[in-house]
Amino acid sequence: MVFPMKHEHNSSKICTASAALTEPAVAEASATLGVSGQNALTARIGRTPLILLSRIANDLPPGVEVYAKAEHFNPGGSVKDRPAWSMICDGIRSGRLKPGMNILDATSGNTGIAYAMIAATLGYRVTLCLPKNTSTERKRIMRAYGAELIETDPLQSSDGAQLRAMELAAESPEKYFYADQYNNDANWRAHYEATAPEIWKQTGGRVTHFIAGMGTSGTFTGTTRRLKELNPNLCAVRMQPDLPLHGLEGMKHMETTIVPGIYDPSLADVEVEVATEDAQETARNLARKEGIFVGVSSGANVHAAIRLAKALPAGSVVVTVLCDTGTRYLGDPFWEEGT
């Protein structure tokens, strides 16, 4: 497929979208809560930089560019601030999240950190179900924000956490607001309303390929849906771990896990798989060669984006996502490996 250049190349290395979060439920609920002012922590969610990867993507065909949406710049350190805020606002607006209730969900860590951070600013309690083998760094951050953690069987990975959260919600519906990120439309809508328009604006409408891995699939689903409306020729690439048992924390191997209700299999034009070692090596290279310290799923996204870009024609503009900060993986030994 050949994609035409739509605008002249913007030569600045980092561009920042100026549009505020536009998701209507978010705007309405944040106004209701009185937290939409300039000083509100939640007003810092979104409008992340788009970074041209020039040093680790330096052997691409002429005229092909790879950009990364730097979601680790969100106040909670990950892409999940966007859907967490969107789902909480939607809960408040719809009346399902009432004062005094606990925000409950299953999370591999980043959404939990985002819920806990936001809930702390609003005065809600948070209960999070997560696999016992979630990294110590993430668990400590969630506890630092005051969240209650319920650890589940690591062998059942995120599926076990999801089943436990469903049980708790069914047992005490009056106590819990079950945000249910895997099945909540306010998750993908955060990306539809804000992430995609930001990418569109930051690339001057030139984006030809969007590539992202999937946990709940919210990032891929919402961003792809909107970008395809803006450019029907956009090529959407779904990335996933190459094996059911893998080290890409936060990413699902769709064929062997509970498929999220919000996942839309018709959106992806191309599917690619990434090995854990390749993702770790790319995360290391992002830190050492680009000065970007991000986690393993970000490494997987960038690895897949560069591999894809090597076979693309001039004028291709590939955009992927840096999901979270590398500090959440400091306990992993791979940072010291390699040369």
Ligand X SMILES: Cc1ncc(COP(=O)(O)O)c(C=O)c1O
Q: What are the start-end ranges of the E strands in 180-331?
A: 209-213, 235-241, 270-274, 317-322
Shortest Å distance, C-beta 219 to ligand X: 3
List the catalytic residue out of 157, 297, 298, 316.
297
Q: Judged by CB under 6 A, does residue 113 bind ligand X?
A: no
Min. distance of Cβ 80 from ligand X in angstroms? 6
- What is the β-pairing status of strands 49-52 and 14-16? antiparallel
For residue 323, state whether it binds ligand X (rule: CB under 6 A). Answer: yes
Among the listed ranges 9-17, 106-114, 197-205, 270-278, the one in contact with ligand X (CB under 6 A) is 106-114
Instruction: For residue 185, count CB atoms less than 10 angstroms from its CB and return exposed for 0-12, middle for 13-18, buried for 19 or more.
Output: middle
Strand spans (E) along 138-230:
148-152, 176-178, 209-213
Q: Which of 80, 86, 139, 316 is labelled catalytic?
A: 80
Q: Write down the residue that tokens 């291709």 correspond to.
A: 316
CB–CB of 193/23 below 8 Å? Answer: yes
Q: How far is the CB of 118 from ligand X (least distance, A)?
A: 15
Among 214, 279, 292, 308, binds ligand X (CB under 6 A): 214
Q: Please confirm, yes or no, whether 175 is among the known catalytic residues.
A: no
For residues 231 and 203, what is the distance between their CA atoms, to the nearest angstrom? 12
Q: Is 219 in the site for ligand X (CB under 6 A)?
A: yes
Q: Does 217 bind ligand X (CB under 6 A)?
A: yes
User: Is 297 among the residues that bind ligand X (CB under 6 A)?
Assistant: yes
Nearer to ligand X, 111 or 282 (CB): 111
Considering the complex, state which of residue 3 and residue 145 has its C-beta at the smaller distance from ligand X.
Answer: 145
**Contact (Cβ atoms closer than 8 angstroms) between residue 296 and residue 247:** yes
Residue 324 binds ligand X (CB under 6 A): yes
105 binds ligand X (CB under 6 A): no
Say whether residue 80 binds ligand X (CB under 6 A): yes
Would you say 203 or 297 has its CB closer to ligand X?
297
Among 76, 160, 197, 215, interactor with ligand X by CB under 6 A: 215
| Contact of 149 with 95, CB cutoff 8 Å | no
Task: Considering the complex, state which of residue 60 and residue 199 has its C-beta at the smaller distance from ligand X.
Answer: 199
Query: DSSP class of residue 262?
Result: T
For ligand X, which is the closer residue by CB, 49 or 109?
109
**Would you call 297 a catalytic residue per the annotation?**
yes
The burial class, CB within 10 Å (0-12 / 13-18 / 19+), for 48 is buried
Question: How far is the C-alpha of 12 from the C-alpha of 294, rounded, in Å?
Answer: 22
Q: CB of 39: closest distance to ligand X in angstroms?
A: 28
Nearest Cα neighbor of 334 from 301, 302, 286, 291 is 286
In the chain, % helix, strand, coil (3-state, to 5) comes to: 40, 20, 40
| Residue of the chain from 111, 157, 282, 285 that contacts ligand X (CB under 6 A) | 111
Positions that interact with ligand X (CB under 6 A): 79-80, 108-111, 213-220, 249-251, 295, 297, 323-324
> Which residues are designated catalytic?
80, 297
